[in-house]
Structure 1
Amino acid sequence: MLTAVIRMRLVVVALALVAVAGCASVGNREDAAAGVAARLLSAVDAGDGDAACAVLAPGTAQAVAEDEPCPEAILDKDLPGPGRVLEASVYGQWAQVRLDDDTVFLGAFPGGWRVVAAGCTPRGSRPYDCTVQGD
């Protein structure tokens, strides 16, 4: 009986530590998401399709590669050059990074943040219009 109580207390303490650690790392998660968004746009700007496709979410890479291989297709998309990050926001497993000329949406995957949509412009109360997006 005593062992079960101790075990339960350890579980509660462990969950509390995980919660506190998650809260402390929100800024790091925002920085990481912004870094991935910047890497995508920098890779496209440099003509490095392989590097650009490496940061896309699987569904997004598949959608981009609909008619030709991803490394070639991503360079044909009308994505803006890398701009200054204005704001990065994390909402659980999703992130939005607003740059000078672009908004990039990302999802959390086992290997880190991946771009699910880019080249996005707001349309008032309607959903964003994105040049690159998954299905």
Structure 2
Amino acid sequence: MEHSGIAPVGRGIATNLLIGENFRVKFIYGQYEGANVALLFNPRFEGSPHIIFNSLVERKWGQEERKENSPFRRGKNFTLMFTTTPTAYKVGRRHHYTFQHRLPPEHVRFLEMDGDVKLEAVSWEGGGSYWNRLTALPGWGASRMY
């Protein structure tokens, strides 16, 4: 189901996850191939653990931003929190990482997660209208490995 976007200033999402190998979280505009991706969050474990941030705008990926010293470890549970400000997405309870908006966040309609991760819980924080209108794409489940 698609909803009208509302500016997501100061709202957050937290997910409890168990990591296998690799996974991605996307904040996307539509449920179709080539839809704009406002935020790609992609922890990687090859070499030194790091996180890739990016956006897909009009079917073209932007310049990747690589953040070193990822706190994520294979096989470990963690809580992941995203907060949206007027200028950027902030990731982590203490906002360890910042990714400046390349697309207006108020047009994000869906949250997508894929990869080798077991989703245990999702909570929408703050009670604001934006996060209440964000839709998790089909296939999310408490016992499924992605």
Higher RCO structure (Cα 8 Å, ≥6 apart): 2
Q: Same fold (TM over 0.5)?
A: no
TM-score by length of 2: 0.29
Point out the structure with the larger helix share: 1
Greater Rg, structure 1 or structure 2? 1
Point out the structure with the larger strand share: 2
